[in-house]
Structure 1
Amino acid sequence: MKQTSFRIKEFMLWFGLAVITLLFILFSFNSDLFFFTPASEQAALDSMKEITPIRFKLNEEGHVVEIFATDSTMNDVAATYLKELPELQRLHLERSVISDASLKYISSLNHLEAIFLDETAVSDTGLMHLKKNDRLQELSLANCSIGDDGMLAVGQLVELKMLNVSKTNVTDTGIKNLEPLKKMEVLYLSGTKLTGIGLQSLGEMSNLTHLDLNGTEVDETLVESVRQFPNLELLYLGNSTINDKLIPQLMSVLTETTPKLRGLSLKETTLSDSAIPALKMMGQLKNLAIVQLQNTKITKPAFKQLATVVTEVNFSVNYSEKND
């Protein structure tokens, strides 16, 4: 009888632990089950769900801190409910159907730290609503119809650490307005109308570690401007106008001023075997681990010369058929 009683107690103990574990898992991975979300926020979530599928995260107090509406039917009507989420910190709206009107509501979110608006209909006009969001640290606007006027607003977001304006109409004039953003760590400028003059106008950004210049017009001024980023770790120059004549200058700049460089992309450029002597200088970059050279005019024999000297780097390469 005592043994039976003991087994019952043991079963109840294990059952209780199993229930607690299950509840923990459910609360951790299914935000909908957090019953203590403030009523106003829950109502806003419910209203948005009637319009578009969304996912969200809550903090320990039950407040909504992150919304995921990427590739959704989130529109300006649904966005009106965002203002009922006062603790919202991160907002993912890539490829949704919002417009400038939504940014008016978003601008009222005083705790917003990151917003992703890639491939949406927002414009320079809408960005003006964001210029007073003094906590914003990440802003992504890739492939949006924005230009230099919008950079006037972005340049006032002095807490920004990540900015993506790839494949936009931004030119050197707009880039100049980003000079006050000295906390910048990650900057995507690929596919813009940037030239060396624009990059030079940024001045020194000592915190910058990631610079994407894929698909840009590379000239001597641009190469020299890389000196302004002494803590650079990743540099992307793929599909740009970098050429054999500029490689000696680039290698000199990198070896002299960017000792932390870990990755370099030169893929899909016109580089040929003539660039190999200068490229051998990358062996001086002790932290360099990855170099992309795919789809260049470099032949296999020339690459072997490079790889023999630069032995600590993992190269991504395919070869030109010439003399192969």
Structure 2
Amino acid sequence: MSKKDGAPKNRDFLVLGIVGVLLIGGFIALTFKLIDQEDKHVRDVEKVRISEDFSEDLMGSDYDSDTVNSIVDRNPNATNCDLSAVTVTDALMPKVAKLKLLKELNLSHSKVTDAGLKYIEHMPLSKLDLSGTAVSDAGLESITKIPTMFKLDLSSTKVTDAGMKKLASLPVLGIIVVNGTAISDEGVKSMQSCKSMKRIYVGSTRVTNEFLKYAAPMDLFAIYCENTAVTGDGIRKYLKDTKLRKLGLDHCNIGDSDVPAIMAAAPGLQVLSAGNTKITDAGLMQLARLLSLKSVRVGECRGITTAGTKRFSQVRPDCKIETHLF
């Protein structure tokens, strides 16, 4: 065969080769594009995912109820669901109720009311956050039907002392948060029958020193009563050699003369929050003798200076001192 006869065939093979390369390249490009689209879809889904291990925080999101419905449908075995600040209403609660294994549910700042809580009565919930909702004492009837409830956050709700009395029947309730509610000393008194109670948060409520009288026998691990009428006199009178490890007294009428009472009240205290009180450098140095102390917060205490905090840190390098409020 002559060279002239072979040339066209070579050109044909060359053209076929080029076409083949282009086809393969196009196929590869298309494949990567599809993979990228799939990855994008997965990323979009993960932004609102509710899984068996965790759920993404949707706070401030603009996801509508249809989206939440879809998420719930795709995660029937979820154990942790965070719907805080999403447009969740009572109408959506039957859908949430389909999560039969749910143990932690965050509905803070949602539009759920007393009526919507009846749908979660059957759930094995151990943690429930209803802070910032319109829930009132009436809705707590549903909560009392959840015997596994351990931590309940009712901050900034319409709950009163009457509601607290209902909650006392929960067998394993260990943490109650009612900051910014209308409860008083009587509400805490009703919780004395709750033998598993370990932490009470009553900041910005109507409690007084009498609250400490009722809290003292409860063998609590933590008390946070910031911005209340609790004073050093109450600590001195009602708290003696307790097992408290954490104590929150921010914005309370506490001064240097009350520091010895605090130390005697909780000899094993590890965290003290006393921001915006009358404690000064002198009181801070008294606290340095409390060897169990691991963290002390004294933000906005006018009597505490930079020199005072430096001196404290030199004496107690093992204790963290924080000079800002949370």
What is the aligned partner in structure 2 of residue 167 from structure 1? 180
Structure 2 matches for 1:95-110, cutoff 5 A?
95-109=109-123
Give the direction of change, closer, same or farther, for the CA distance of 1:184–1:144 in structure 2 (3 Å limit). same
What is the aligned partner in structure 1 of residue 134 from structure 2? 121
The code of the aligned residue for 2:318 comes to E
Give the direction of change, closer, same or farther, for the CA distance of 1:251–1:32 in structure 2 (3 Å limit). closer
Q: Deviations over 1:120-170 (max 9, x none)?
A: 000111112211221111111111111111101111112012211011111
Give the direction of change, closer, same or farther, for the CA distance of 1:58–1:313 in structure 2 (3 Å limit). farther
Cα pair 1:137 1:162 within 8 Å, conserved = yes
SS of the residue corresponding to residue 109 of structure 2 reads: coil
Q: Deviations over 1:80-131 (max 9, x none)?
A: 333333322221101100111011222232x121111010000111112211
Tell me the distance in 2 between the aligned counterparts of 1:304 and 1:146: 43
Q: Deviations over 1:210-264 (max 9, x none)?
A: 321211212322454443741x222111111223332232233233xx2xx2221
SS of the residue corresponding to residue 125 of structure 1 reads: helix
What is the aligned partner in structure 2 of residue 90 from structure 1? 104
Q: CA deviation at 1:308?
A: 5.3
Give the direction of change, closer, same or farther, for the CA distance of 1:156–1:233 in structure 2 (3 Å limit). same
Cα pair 1:140 1:163 within 8 Å, conserved = yes
Answering whether residue 300 of structure 2 is matched by residue 295 of structure 1, we say yes
Tell me the distance in 1 between the aligned counterparts of 2:310 and 2:99: 58
Give the direction of change, closer, same or farther, for the CA distance of 1:33–1:222 in structure 2 (3 Å limit). closer
Cα pair 1:53 1:69 within 8 Å, conserved = no
What is the aligned partner in structure 2 of residue 280 from structure 1? 285
Cα pair 2:309 2:321 within 8 Å, conserved = no
Give the direction of change, closer, same or farther, for the CA distance of 1:120–1:161 in structure 2 (3 Å limit). same
Correspondent of 1:317 among 306, 313, 323: 323
Tell me the distance in 2 between the aligned counterparts of 1:223 and 1:215: 18
- Unpaired segments ≥5 residues, structure 2: 1-37, 52-63
Tell me the distance in 1 between the aligned counterparts of 2:270 and 2:143: 34
Answering whether residue 266 of structure 2 is matched by residue 254 of structure 1, we say yes
What is the aligned partner in structure 2 of residue 214 from structure 1? 226
Q: How many residues align?
A: 271
Identity %: 24
Tell me the distance in 2 between the aligned counterparts of 1:144 and 1:84: 26
Structure 2 matches for 1:156-195, cutoff 5 A?
156-195=169-208
Cα pair 2:144 2:166 within 8 Å, conserved = yes
Correspondent of 2:81 among 51, 67, 71: 67
Cα pair 1:56 1:68 within 8 Å, conserved = no
Cα pair 1:55 1:69 within 8 Å, conserved = no
The code of the aligned residue for 1:263 comes to V
Tell me the distance in 2 between the aligned counterparts of 1:238 and 1:113: 29
Q: TM-score, normalised by structure 2?
A: 0.72
Q: CA deviation at 1:33?
A: 11
Tell me the distance in 1 between the aligned counterparts of 2:161 and 2:194: 16
Q: Deviations over 1:147-203 (max 9, x none)?
A: 111101111112012211011111001111111222223321111111121222134
Give the direction of change, closer, same or farther, for the CA distance of 1:204–1:57 in structure 2 (3 Å limit). farther
Give the direction of change, closer, same or farther, for the CA distance of 1:57–1:210 in structure 2 (3 Å limit). farther
Give the direction of change, closer, same or farther, for the CA distance of 1:158–1:305 in structure 2 (3 Å limit). same
Tell me the distance in 1 between the aligned counterparts of 2:292 and 2:74: 39
Root-mean-square deviation (CA, aligned residues, Å) is 3.3
Tell me the distance in 2 between the aligned counterparts of 1:247 and 1:226: 13
Tell me the distance in 1 between the aligned counterparts of 2:73 and 2:138: 30
- Unpaired segments ≥5 residues, structure 1: 1-21, 35-47, 319-324
Cα pair 1:56 1:65 within 8 Å, conserved = no
The code of the aligned residue for 1:50 comes to D
Tell me the distance in 1 between the aligned counterparts of 2:258 and 2:84: 40
